[in-house]
Amino acid sequence: MELRGLKTLFLLRHAKSSWADEDLADIERPLKERGRKAAATIGRFLRKERVNPDLVLSSCAVRARETIDIVLKAAKLRTEIRYDERIYEASPLRLLEVILQIDSDRKSVLLVGHNPGMEELLQLLTGNVEHMPTAALAKIALKTSKWSGVGARKGTLEWFVKPKELQDI
């Protein structure tokens, strides 16, 4: 049960990317076919769970952009997406800085990023240690009514899913 006024943060690691073109810069790498399928699975899961974030904050990397495009399409969601260069290769403290600046009227936000920052942010916010494979998704209930109040151990991990566990969706 979500209490009124509290915030919900979803953490999504980008789906599996391709290394086929070794000449591409890391930020330019697209998704592999396996990654596209995993992103669609996560999108169907979001639709089934009736998750509809007020805002998506995504890394500007091609693989993160492709991931969120596929997820939102499969979830049949239309929501505001902001691409933020600070999320690419970010430390957990840099990710926290991004979160602290979210407009207070947003109740739920989906953050799309990369490891190791995403795993470390999950641990910082909840105290839980989880390996986040590609396209893993976590739901964190935050014990604050303002994004500026988010901090270490201010969150509770409500659920954590991996595409492999959702193959029947």
**pLDDT at position 112, please?**
98
As beta bridge partners, residue 142 has 7, 155
Name residue 55's amino acid. Answer: L
Give the burial string for 39-60 (b: 16+ CB within 10 Å, else e).
bbbbbbbbbeeebebbbbbbbe
Closest alpha carbon to 107 in 22, 2, 25 = 2
Sheet holding 80-83, edge to edge: 80-83, 55-58, 108-113, 7-13, 137-142, 155-161
Q: What region, left, alpha or beta, does residue 5 occupy, with left being phi > 0 and alpha being psi -120 to 50 degrees?
A: left
Percent of the chain's residues with pLDDT above 70: 96
Report the alpha-carbon distance of residue 149 to residue 111 in Å, rounded: 17
As beta bridge partners, residue 17 has 31
pLDDT one digit per residue (tens) for the chain, 169 residues: 344 569 999 999 999 999 999 999 999 999 999 999 999 999 999 999 999 999 999 999 999 999 999 999 999 999 999 999 999 999 999 999 999 999 999 999 999 999 999 999 999 999 999 999 999 999 999 999 999 999 999 999 999 999 999 977 6
Kindly list the domain boundaries of the chain, sorted by start residue.
Answer: 7-166
**pLDDT at position 5, please?**
67
Return the structure tokens found at 166.
């959702």
**pLDDT at position 1, please?**
38
Kindly report the CATH number that applies to the domain delimited by 7-166: 3.40.50.1240
* Kind plus residue range of the DSSP H or E element containing 81: strand 80-83
**pLDDT at position 146, please?**
95
Report the alpha-carbon distance of residue 110 to residue 42 in Å, rounded: 12
